[in-house]
Amino acid sequence: MSVLEIRDLHVTVGEGDDAKEILRGVDLTVRSGETHAIMGPNGSGKSTLAYSIAGHPKYTITGGTVTLDGEDVLAMTVDERARAGLFLAMQYPVEVPGVSVSNFLRTAATAIKGEAPKLRTWVKDVKTEMAGLEMDPAFAERNVNEGFSGGEKKRHEILQMRLLKPRIAILDETDSGLDVDALRIVSEGVNKTREEGDVGVLLITHYTRILRYIQPDFVHVFVNGRIAEEGGAELAEKLENDGYAAYVKGSTEVASA
């Protein structure tokens, strides 16, 4: 049983006079077994929230706290946060030339588990998970994210989540850029993880589409750096029909897709 608690989180980007406040007091609690959807228009700060929790150096925390089971997440290095059980599936996964997927996955698993996984079971696990995500085995020999299509990158992110078995998984727009088949496959991967274990999921999305595949317990509408409204799955339906106009004056951004 794990709890990620975010309290009055304030975050800026940029240095000195250029510093710009993006998160303006975020409160959110994610427990094991819960799935939270964060929905908001472009530029509202959703990725900033995800990156701040993961510890990206670009963001400066100017106020508030983030704890995982009472431990101060903000005091941890990026790798310590991952080893504590946090995982971020990125909106824009990064290319790492010359580092093969297989080497990367095994290095990451070794770091998370604290010891190298047994080769035979590991190879089997990777194969099984790749098959589940309908990924070609040849994928393992390619360099991390290099030349991957948008859909391949997202599958690779979910593959990592499956193998690293985090306590809290944050999925930042994992649905964007996926065709219907890929969306279904990726969603099945997430649902399997929810069924198998006690993971808490924070699903960040712009569109309601993925919520037809992954049923959220809570929906938070994220506007202008803070949560503007909260509710259950029914809130997603409202967004589906009305878009973000009720929250952002003059907004024509739609949430249905």
Partner 1 sequence: MSASPENTSTTELTTDTAALASELFAPGVGAQAGPPTTPAEGTGVAPGAHSHGGPAPTGSPAERFTSTDPDAFGVPTGREETWRFTPMKRMRTLLDGAPSDAHLTWTTDLPEGVELTSVEAGDPLLKALPEPADRLAALARQRSGGAAVVRVKSEAQLDRPVTLGLAGTGSDDIVWGQLVIEVGAFARATIVLDHTGLARYAGGVAIIVGDSAQVTLVSVQDWAPGTVHGGQYDAVVGRDATFKQVVVTLGGDLVRLVSNVQYAGPGGTAELFGVYFADETQHQEHRLWVDHAVPNCRSNVLYKGALQGEEARTVWIGDVRIRPAATGTETYELNRNLVLTDGARADSVPNLEIETGEIVGAGHASATGRFDDEQLFYLCSRGIDAETARRLVVRGFFADVVQLIGIDGLQDRLMAAIEARLGALPGLEEQSVEQPA
Ligand X SMILES: Nc1ncnc2c1ncn2[C@@H]1O[C@H](COP(=O)(O)OP(=O)(O)O)[C@@H](O)[C@H]1O
Chain residues in the site for Mg ion (CB under 5 A):
46-47, 91
| 112 near partner 1 (CB under 8 A) | yes
Judged by CB under 6 A, the residue of 4, 6, 11, 22 near ligand X is: 22
| 45 near ligand X (CB under 6 A) | yes
What's the angle, vertex CA 109, arms to CA 111 and CA 100, rounded to 5? 105
Judged by CB under 6 A, the residue of 2, 48, 52, 208 near ligand X is: 48
Number of residues that bind partner 1 (CB under 8 A): 47
Judged by CB under 8 A, the residue of 17, 20, 119, 250 near partner 1 is: 119
Minimal distance, residue 90 CB to Mg ion, in Å: 10
What's the angle, vertex CA 175, arms to CA 212 and CA 232, rounded to 5? 40
Find the radius of gyration of the CA atoms of the chain: 18
Minimal distance, residue 75 CB to Mg ion, in Å: 25
| 180 near partner 1 (CB under 8 A) | no
Pairing of strands 35-39, 168-172: unpaired
Taking phi first (over 0 means left), then psi (-120 to 50 degrees means alpha), and beta for anything else, what does residue 173 get? left
Nearer to ligand X, 46 or 167 (CB): 46
Partnered with residue 3 across adjacent β-strands are: 31
Judged by CB under 6 A, the residue of 4, 11, 13, 199 near ligand X is: 13
Contact code string over 37-56 relative to partner 1, x by CB under 8 A: -----------------xxx
Enumerate residues 6+ apart whose C-beta is below 8 A from 151: 177, 178, 179, 182
Using the structure block, give the residue that is written with the tokens 């996984």.
Answer: 117
Query: 215 near 194, Cβ under 8 Å?
Result: no
Nearer to partner 1, 50 or 223 (CB): 50
Segment near partner 1 (CB under 8 A), from 40-48, 131-139, 175-183, 228-236? 131-139
DSSP output for 206-236: SSSGGGGTS--SEEEEEETTEEEEEESHHHH
Pairing of strands 218-223, 35-39: parallel
Segment near partner 1 (CB under 8 A), from 21-29, 108-116, 176-184, 238-246? 108-116
Nearer to ligand X, 45 or 85 (CB): 45
Give the span between the Cα atoms of 253 and 256, in whole angstroms. Answer: 9
Residue 22 near which of ligand X, Mg ion, partner 1, none (CB within 5-8 Å, type-dependent): ligand X
Buried b (16+ CB within 10 A) or exposed e, 10-47: bbbbeeeeeeebbbbebebebebebbbbbbbbeebbbb
Minimal distance, residue 5 CB to partner 1, in Å: 20
Point out which residues bind partner 1 (CB under 8 A): 54-58, 77-79, 81-83, 87-88, 90, 93-100, 102-108, 110-112, 116, 119, 122-123, 126-127, 137-141, 143-144, 160, 164
